[in-house]
Amino acid sequence: MLIVKKFGGTSVGNKERIFNVARRCIEDYKKGNDVVVVLSAMGKSTDDLIGMARDINPSPSKREMDMLITTGEQISVALMAMAMGALGVPAVSLNAFQVSMHTTHRYGNAQLKRIDTDRIYNELEQRKIVLVTGFQGIDKYDNVTTLGRGGSDTTAVALAAALRADACEIYTDVDGVFTADPRYVKTAKKLNEITYDEMLELATLGAGVLHNRSVEMAKKYGVQLVVRSSLNDHEGTVVKEEVNMEKMLVSGVAADKNATRIAVMGLKDEPGIAFHLFNVLAKHNINVDIILQSVGRDGTKDISFTVSEDVADEAVVAIQKSFPKSEYKKIDEEKDVAKISIVGAGMMTHPGVAASMFEALYDAGVNIKMISTSEIRVTVLVDEKYTEKALNAVHERFSLDE
């Protein structure tokens, strides 16, 4: 079997944990399997590197930022190779350049395009464990890029697809995918399985246990994932196309504090305005989430929408630059908001799920600022200070803790 195993930052956070991971990989290797291991940077070291950069320059170049933060993963793979060496097993560490993991040119949020597999196969043939840096890539000019925060999951899934691996295992600091973030909802329950579609929604809506693009890629290439703990042998959660159980009404609740609401007020109420507004944002590669347009009055209307906090200022500047001051009254930016979402494949066929969610929020005294829905999710925007209250109230309403 060819197994791709990915270990997150906490799982390789110190010497003891590094040896723990080394032993787990060696166990598979000694059974005769080919083992490819993707590692994240140790503990919170990516955050530390970002802090160092901001201390030197508050708005550093994106290229140098990627050059800096990819070093974390390089430390992990080199130390892991040494740990495996100390345990008497041959291992080789490879960075994105050495493997050749080709990405687009977008620093900080590059997309994987192609992975060369020759070098990895070569090393596996020599019976080495291959350790690959997560999160990083190279663009066509050999610049170092990164796949976005949490991107090591995507590296692992992409490698599993490219190598046609028999298994792809994502090891982390919790036992699997839960009905809500177990850090904030004490009664959250581990799911045995979940569909790609549900997991993709949850990951996109704030369940940071998997990078959303890793789920997208897993679905596209049919890579079945297992999310499980690196610290015990519990079974974990299988992420796959169809689940065996009856479709859950709501399989999970997610919160995302990284949201900003932008309201453009007093826009002309005429055709083409929404197109112009969102076209400007699209040109800046800014993803827009919930959109709300007010009913027109006195020939004007308001359009509000949410974007992720890190691109909010850029979005406002882009709008100011492309709309003459005379075409709107003012732009408001509200950063202290959070998105609360429920996700479940079963809600497609059950009316009233949204109403139950709104009732739970009403009972908890939490005001809803915006709403958006899809076939398998409902998202509301609330004041950020109510995030945990709202999360727990909604989780409880759907008896996810039973």
Question: What length is written for the chain?
Answer: 402
C-beta of 208: minimal distance to ligand ADP in Å? 5
Q: Which does 268 bind (CB under 5 to 8 A by kind): ligand ADP, Mg ion, ligand ASP, none?
A: none
- State the binding partner of 135 from ligand ASP, Mg ion, ligand ADP, none, CB within 5 to 8 A by kind: ligand ASP
* Shortest spacing between CB 40 and ligand ASP, in angstroms: 3
Q: How far is the CB of 302 from ligand ADP (least distance, A)?
A: 33
SS3 for 335-390, per residue?
Answer: EEEEEEEEECHHHHHCCCHHHHHHHHHHHCCCCCCEEEEECCEEEEEEEHHHHHHH
**Residue placing its CB nearer to ligand ASP in the complex, 8 or 252:** 8
Look-up: residue for tokens 């703990």? 229
Which residue, judged by CB position, is nearest to ligand ASP in the bound state? 152
Residue type, 357: M
Q: Which residues contribute to the site for ligand ADP (CB under 6 A)?
A: 8-11, 40, 150, 172-174, 177-178, 180-183, 207-209, 252
Distance of closest approach, residue 214 Cβ to ligand ADP, in angstroms: 10
Sign, CA dihedral 137-139-143-149, equals negative
Burial class from Cβ neighbours inside 10 Å (0-12, 13-18, 19+) for residue 333 reads middle
From the CB of 252, what's the least distance to ligand ADP, in Å?
5
Tell me if 339 sits within 8 A of 255, measured CB to CB.
Answer: yes
Q: Least distance from C-beta 153 to ligand ADP, angstroms?
A: 6
Between vectors from CA 88 to CA 87 and to CA 89, what angle results, nearest 5°? 100
Tally the C-alpha atoms within 13 A of residue 53's C-alpha that lie toward its C-beta: 19
Residues contributing to the site for ligand ASP (CB under 6 A): 8-9, 40-41, 46, 72, 134-135, 149-152
Q: E strand or H helix at 333, and its extent?
A: strand 330-343
Which CB sits closer to ligand ASP, 150 or 176? Answer: 150
Q: Decide whether 159 or 342 has the Cβ nearer to ligand ASP.
A: 159
- What DSSP string runs through 252-304? EEEEEEEEEEEEEEEEE-STTHHHHHHHHHHHTT-----EEEPPPBTTEEEEE
Site residues, Mg ion (CB under 5 A): 8, 150
Q: How far apart are CA 189 and CA 177, in angstroms?
A: 8
> 148 or 208: whose CB is closer to ligand ADP?
208
Per partner kind, with CB cut-offs from 5 to 8 A, the member of ligand ASP, ligand ADP, Mg ion, none near residue 207 is: ligand ADP
Q: Toward ligand ADP, which CB reaches closer, 158 or 209?
A: 209
The least distance separating ligand ADP from the CB of residue 243, rounded to whole angstroms, comes to: 16
Q: How many helices (H) and strands (E) does the chain have?
A: 13, 18
Nearer to ligand ASP, 47 or 327 (CB): 47
Q: How far is the CB of 359 from ligand ASP (least distance, A)?
A: 37
322 within 8 A of 280, measured Cβ to Cβ: yes
Cα radius of gyration (the chain): 23
Nearer to ligand ADP, 103 or 237 (CB): 237
Query: What 3-state class would DSSP assign to 92?
Result: strand
Q: How far is the CB of 325 from ligand ADP (least distance, A)?
A: 42
Whole-angstrom Cα distance, residue 281 to residue 332?
16
Contacted entry of ligand ASP, ligand ADP, Mg ion, none for residue 134, CB cut-off 5 to 8 Å set by kind: ligand ASP
Pair type for strands 101-103 and 112-115: antiparallel
d(CA 151, CA 94): 17
- Closest to ligand ASP by CB, 149 or 335: 149
Minimum CB distance to ligand ASP smaller for 137 or for 344: 137
